[in-house]
Amino acid sequence: MPVEQIAPVVDREALLPGAQFIDAYSVTIGDNALDAREAATRMVEHGPRWIGTLMRLRNIVVTPFGLKTPAPGGSARGDRIGSFPVLSETPTRIVAGFDDSHLDFRIVVDVVDGAAGRRVIASTLVLTHNRLGRTYLAAIMPFHRLVVRAMLGRVAQ
């Protein structure tokens, strides 16, 4: 099944009050046993290699601006998915993300049962704080769309 952009189905104000950006992508899968943690792990820790390269380049570029640069690698156990801190978790939803001086972001992975099968929905929410945050968001947006689609494609494999 192809990855498709959908209307966000998360409560923006409950997850990141004041968020100016929100999007969502969805893929239908055949794995009825998949839960939110496993879906998020497949997305973040087992995504295409080019995403890791892109993230390393991002970290090099943003370091002079004092932005957070997560340590490489990660763990799908406990309080992290890859380099992202887990903020809340149920079997059907995991919320990860962090707050920084330029922006706050949340990644929400939902696993829902539907008429066509189980769907994994990845939503991203962003709250910018200043000009640097708005500039950063504008600069990464083309990459964000490619990355999310590629990560969800891995879940479907």
Given a cut of 70, whether residue 1 has pLDDT beyond it is: no
pLDDT per position as a tens digit, 70-107: 655 455 456 888 878 999 999 999 999 989 889 999 99
Provide CATH code, domain 3-156.
Answer: 3.30.530
The pLDDT of 126-133, averaged and rounded, is 95
Tell me, what's the pLDDT at 33?
Answer: 79
Q: Report the distance separating Cα 5 and Cα 49, nearest Å.
A: 23
Q: Report the distance separating Cα 24 and Cα 30, nearest Å.
A: 20
Q: Report the distance separating Cα 29 and Cα 37, nearest Å.
A: 15
Give the position of tokens 């890859």: 82
pLDDT per position as a tens digit, 5-53: 999 999 999 999 999 999 999 999 976 779 999 999 988 887 667 667 6
Tell me, what's the pLDDT at 62?
Answer: 66
Tell me, what's the pLDDT at 60?
Answer: 72
Tell me, what's the pLDDT at 35?
Answer: 94
Given a cut of 80, whether residue 128 has pLDDT beyond it is: yes
Tell me, what's the pLDDT at 65?
Answer: 66
Tell me, what's the pLDDT at 84?
Answer: 85
**Banded model confidence at residue 115, pLDDT cuts 50, 70, 90:** confident
Q: What are phi and psi of 129, to 5 degrees?
A: -110, -20
Q: Report the distance separating Cα 41 and Cα 111, nearest Å.
A: 13
Domain ranges in the chain are 3-156
Tell me, what's the pLDDT at 82?
Answer: 81
Give the position of tokens 């990141």: 16
Tell me, what's the pLDDT at 68?
Answer: 66
Structure tokens at 128: 């910018």
Q: Report the distance separating Cα 27 and Cα 117, nearest Å.
A: 10
Given a cut of 80, whether residue 2 has pLDDT beyond it is: yes
